[in-house]
Amino acid sequence: MANGYTAVPAIIPGPLTVNGLLTVNSDLGIRIGGSAPFVRLFKSAVPNLGLSYNLGTDEATLDTPGTRAQELALIADGRSPFTKEFNPGGGAFFAQLDRTIALNGTLVGHTGTVTEDTIYSVTIPGNTLGVDGALIVEVIIQNVAQGGVNTAFRVKYGAGIVAQYLTAVAQSRQIRAVMQNANATGSQKAWGFSIDNVATLLLSDNTPAVDSTVDQVLSFTIQNGTATDSQNVRGWHVHGVCGRASVL
């Protein structure tokens, strides 16, 4: 405030308007509410940014015991937002928020080639996954024409194959693939399925070993068996639990 105004006893009666930067020098941040339970915005010891209800800045003490408490946290090491919830008895439960990483509904027609062509891709920044993070990829494909030679549908992370489905069957299909760091930044477990419109199921199980501490391109590719094979790819969705630095 202008002229370094100090309120005594640190209470300002009535509304307060701040037209410039407000600096709070304590990690205890801001407590809101005339009585318990309170809501808080604070910096914890981890450190992370915490937004809590009925939960003190030590992330353990309840304002009102026997009442549910919650915290939404953003952490400095790049892990995605997570929640911490206390049941009325005080037992804690942690949950990682599922996030959409890529979403593209552009219809892509693919034909006239037997090379491996990238249909969709997104860059996953280095260290996004931590050591236990996971990605989930979903793709919808309308098969227009298919010869007698296998076409390869692939989900790739860098040069590593997350999922691969080989088929010469002219059926439309849904693909779902999951990749998770195997408690290490350079080792993954990957699995998934492709199911077509007559319920034929293809499974995939792979163990790529890609360095997730650097940027890697996650992609969906098609390599036709013959140049006359044709597909309309209707879109993809990439989501998952990202940035787990430890087992949840």
Where exactly are the structural domains of the chain? 2-96, 99-240
Q: Are 50 and 57 in contact (CB under 8 A)?
A: yes
Q: What is the mean pLDDT of residues 153-178?
A: 97
Q: Write the pLDDT tens digit of every residue in 65-105.
A: 999 999 999 876 656 688 889 988 878 888 888 889 999 99
- Candidates 121, 84, 129, 131; CA nearest to 238 is 121
Q: How does DSSP assign the chain, residue by residue?
A: -GGG---TTS---S-----S-----STT-EEE-SSSSPEEEEE-SS-EEEEEESB-TTSS-BSSTTS-EEEEEEETTSPPPEEEEE-TT--EEEEEPPEEEEEE---EEEES--SEEEEEEEEE-TTSSBTT-EEEEEEEEEEEE--SS-EEEEEEETTEEEEEEEE-----EEEEEEEEE-SSTT-EEEEEEEEETT--EEEEEE-----TTS-EEEEEEEE-SSTT-EEEEEEEEEEE---BSS--
CA angle 48, 125, 137 (to 5 degrees): 105
Among 2.60.120, 2.115.10, 3.30.420, 2.30.30, name the CATH number for the domain at 99-240: 2.60.120
What confidence score (pLDDT) does residue 185 get?
A: 95
Cβ burial, residue 42 (10 Å; 0-12/13-18/19+): buried
Cβ burial, residue 201 (10 Å; 0-12/13-18/19+): exposed
Residue 23: which residues within 8 A CB-CB, separation 6 or more? none
What confidence score (pLDDT) does residue 13 get?
A: 78
CA angle 74, 176, 75 (to 5 degrees): 5
Full-model pTM? 0.83
Tokens 């015991």 -> residue: 65
Q: Write the pLDDT tens digit of every residue in 112-144.
A: 999 999 999 999 999 888 898 899 999 999 999
What confidence score (pLDDT) does residue 9 get?
A: 64
What confidence score (pLDDT) does residue 245 get?
A: 65
Q: Are 137 and 235 in contact (CB under 8 A)?
A: no
Q: Write the pLDDT tens digit of every residue in 5-62.
A: 565 666 777 788 889 998 999 999 999 999 999 999 999 888 889 999 999 999 999 9
Q: Are 207 and 187 in contact (CB under 8 A)?
A: yes
